[in-house]
Amino acid sequence: MKLFVIHVVIAGLTLLSGVNGEYTKYYRLDARILRNFSDVGEQTCCKECTAYTNCQSINYNMLNHSCELNYEHVSGLTGKNGHQEYVYMDKAHCSSLFTSCPNMCNLTCAANQKCERTSNNLQICITTECDPSDVIPGIIPEERREIGRSIWFRCTIPPTRSRQLYTCNTDGQWVKHSECQCWYGTYLNGDVCTECPAGKHLPHIGSVGSGSCINCSAGYYTSNLGQGWCSICPVGYFQSSSGQSSCQPCPAGRYINVEGATSCKKCPAGKYSETPGQTRCSNCTVGYFQNSSGQSSCQPCPAGTYINVEGATSCKECPAGKYSETPGQTRCSNCTVGYFQNCSGQSSCQPCPAGTYINVEGATSCKECPAGKYSETPGQTGCSNCTEGYYQSSSGQSSCQPCPAGTYINVEGATSCKECPAGKYSETPGQTRCSNCTVGYFQNSSGQSSCQPCPAGTYINVEGATSCKECPAGKYSETPGQTRCSNCTVGYFQNSSGQSSCQSCPAGSYVNVEGATSCMLCPWYTYQPSSGKTYCAPCLLAHSEGSTSCSLF
């Protein structure tokens, strides 16, 4: 260890005087002159050496209050770091009567112990304790602070609010170890120990002047006056400036999970912090996402999207066949039956158009109604059969067509209609059956919407006729649509079939029965000058058949 010394020679001994330096072991101070211990000898100074085994030393540490043994404080000497130093100092000169030290103990003991020899001359370490309740004159007991084997007492003399250190020596006695000094966090201002302001600290005892107060570093603070040390900003809080009296909570959207922070971290994408002062960020819940960092909330997944994991940075589109109607969904719903969706990312499904249907959930398209079926309105789960009298020959239709006149259908789900057979007809569209031609009418073709009347000279007397019958000879039908033929009246005849009228018997002939197919000639001695007669008049002059006059010539 480095020493600054002045060498002088006294009585043949080398004497060393300390000059603002650091003093080492194995030297004793006699009249403020450092003397090598070996120059004096053990027997000469044994009494002093054993009397001060618990004195403080040059290596006194202000923070943990540890020291080397065999030293006592000497006021006025200044050592390293500006602290008062502690060195061994004689309290009395060695007596010339001592020529030996029979009780001398060389055993190294702990700081709170001393070495003693037993009756059988064994060296042992014994522990000594000081009574904390001892009242030391001139101090205020209720203000004392116990630190190990030392007690700091508040002084009753200036400077005001100063403290004085007493230590417990190895003999179990309280020994004053310092003068009254300003305590940690205070500095001497006149004759008063003044507290350092908030935001500053003073980790030393005995400081002088306000300049001794030190700003708390960024990440630290003091909220009260007179603090010896700064408090570290707790997790969730930060302080970016020095000399501050408080720490700031991390704003919403940020966090910090270590003490003494000078800044906060942004919540990463997929996370958020809603309130200030957070030590961690929360994951976005399912149904929500956040694609930016440093956010105080998450956004709901828009309609048409979803997310089913926490901490998402984006949402997934609903696939085709599914939808999400409202924001913040954790899953997509299947399109219900009758509805479809052929695009992804949709908030609704569309009804199947008229003419189509779907009967399963989650459909991406609809099926066309097959021929013979239809769906009239959108959103159908099935197609309806065309009813009787109606048909549909194409697929994907919203209605069925009525069977045209002349056709019919008598089953459901028809893809075509049937023609009415000959002898039958359907007059209006949408018929489930054909009607028979009525008596007097016929139809010789299929697929007809009406029947034809039997022509004059013909008739039909049954329904569903495909043709008419000719009136036989001796009969006629004067107008169409007759169900029977009329007999030729008397005086008339018809020798051909299928006639619409009868012929009158020519002059010289007659017929007196109905339905005649021929006329009879007037017999001899009769005549008939007119046609269409039912008799011949007698005439004696008529001398041949078929006479038309009554004369000889």
Mean pLDDT (whole number) for 458-468: 97
* Residues 187 and 194 sit within 8 Å (Cβ to Cβ): yes
184-188, 256-260, 265-269, 537-541: least confident range = 537-541
- In which band, very low, low, confident or very high, does the pLDDT at 115 lie, cut at 50, 70 and 90? confident
pLDDT score recorded for residue 258: 97
Q: What pLDDT, on a 0 to 100 scale, did the predictor assign at position 422?
A: 98
What does the pLDDT read at residue 546?
75
Residue 387 has pLDDT above 50, yes or no: yes
Q: How confident is the model at residue 136 (pLDDT cuts 50, 70, 90)?
A: low
Enter the tokens of residue 376.
Answer: 């009239």
- Does residue 273 register a pLDDT over 60? yes
pLDDT in tens, 485-533: 999 999 999 999 999 999 999 999 999 999 999 999 999 888 899 999 9
Beta-strand relationship, 401-402 and 288-289: unpaired
Tell me the two tokens of residue 87.
Answer: 């060195």
Q: Is a pLDDT exceeding 80 seen at residue 23?
A: no
Stretch 327-341: mean pLDDT, rounded? Answer: 98
Percent of the chain scoring above 70 in pLDDT = 73
pLDDT band at 463 (very low <50, low <70, confident <90, very high): very high
Give the C-alpha distances (Å, rounded to integers) separating 327 from 295, 302, 421, 550: 19, 5, 65, 123
**Mean pLDDT in residue range 45-71:** 35
The mean per-residue pLDDT over the stretch 45-67 comes to 35
**Amino acid in the structure at residue 31:** A
Query: How many Å apart are CA 216 and CA 232, to the nearest integer?
Result: 9
Summarised one tens digit per residue, pLDDT across range 145-192 is: 555 566 776 776 677 777 767 777 766 777 776 778 888 889 999 888
Tell me what the mean pLDDT of segment 344-351 comes to: 98
Q: Mean pLDDT, the chain, as a whole number?
A: 80
**In the prediction, which pLDDT does 120 show?**
66
Residue among 132, 134, 136, 160 nearest 148 (CA): 132
- Average pLDDT rounded to a whole number, residues 46-67: 35
Mean per-residue pLDDT for 40-63? 35
Amino acid letter, 322: K
Write down the residue that tokens 């569903």 correspond to.
Answer: 464
**221-255 pLDDT, tens digit each:** 999 998 989 999 999 999 999 999 999 999 999 99
**Percentage of the chain surpassing pLDDT 90?**
59
What pLDDT is attached to residue 47?
A: 34
Say whether pLDDT at 10 is over 80. no
pLDDT band at 123 (very low <50, low <70, confident <90, very high): confident
pLDDT at 514: 95
Which tops the pLDDT comparison, 51 or 109? Answer: 109
Between residues 166 and 61, the one the model is more confident about? 166
Q: What are phi and psi of 82, to 5 degrees?
A: 75, 10
Torsion of CA 488, 489, 492, 495, to 10 degrees: 20
| pLDDT (0 to 100) of residue 467 | 97
Q: What is the predicted pLDDT for the residue at 137?
A: 60
What distances in angstroms separate CA 153 from CA 128, 176, 253, one per listed residue? 21, 10, 49
Q: Tell me the mean pLDDT in the region 373-392.
A: 98
pLDDT of residue 386: 98
200-209, 217-226, 453-462: which has the minimum mean pLDDT?
Answer: 200-209
- Alpha-carbon gap, residue 57 to 86, rounded angstroms: 4
Least confident of 40-44, 283-287, 291-295, 528-532: 40-44
pLDDT given at position 68: 33
* Cα–Cα distance measured from residue 10 to residue 32, given in angstroms and rounded to the nearest whole number: 14
Provide the pLDDT for residue 145.
55
Identify whether the C-beta of residue 405 lies closer than 8 Å to the C-beta of residue 429. Answer: yes
Of 82 and 285, more confident:
285
- How far does the chain reach from its first CA to its final CA, in angstroms? 201
Structure-model confidence comparison of residues 465 and 51, the more confident one: 465
Identify the pLDDT of residue 127: 74
Per-residue pLDDT for 361 more than 80? Answer: yes
**Predicted local confidence at residue 126, as pLDDT:** 79
- The residue type found at 63 is L
